[in-house]
Amino acid sequence: MFKTPTKKCKGLINDASALAFAGEGTTPALLAFLQGFTYESSYYVWQTLITALGKVQSIFSKDVALAQGLDNLLHGIISPMVAKLGWEPSPNEEYLTTQLRSLLVLTAGRSGDNKSVPTSLTPSHWFTDHSQNH
């Protein structure tokens, strides 16, 4: 299977984003293109992809229905990699894999994907006293 080099993927995402934002391409075409990176393993490509999606989200943030649709799209794009990477690092895991997990879980949590964030890390559990003795 052929794998496009990281620099080329980043360049393609940046070019597609620039075309959409300049009106020479369309937002739906950009979003469809970004969906093709669902199983990308490069931290740098994901960083570029999430930045591009963040720009689209900021442009359409006032439209509640559209913003929710973009969050759903984001979940669909990142969820397979969050599931693949899991919550816990593997022994001898590469540094960039750890960084990728952090980036994807943080992005999932910020966009409302409660399945990607363990219950123990949700705000409702931060201030609960779990001690048996007072």
Is a pLDDT exceeding 90 seen at residue 121? no
Residues 22-31: tens digit of each pLDDT: 999 999 999 9
The proportion of the chain whose per-residue pLDDT surpasses 70, expressed as a percent, equals: 81
Structure tokens at 52: 């591009």
Residues 96-106: tens digit of each pLDDT: 999 999 999 88
Structure tokens at 44: 């740098």
Q: Is 112 helix (H, G, I), strand (E, B) or coil?
A: coil
Name the nearest CA neighbour of 34 among 114, 109, 25, 124. 25
Return the domain boundaries, the chain: 6-111
Q: 104 CB contacts (<8 Å, ≥6 apart)? A: 46, 78, 81, 82, 85, 116
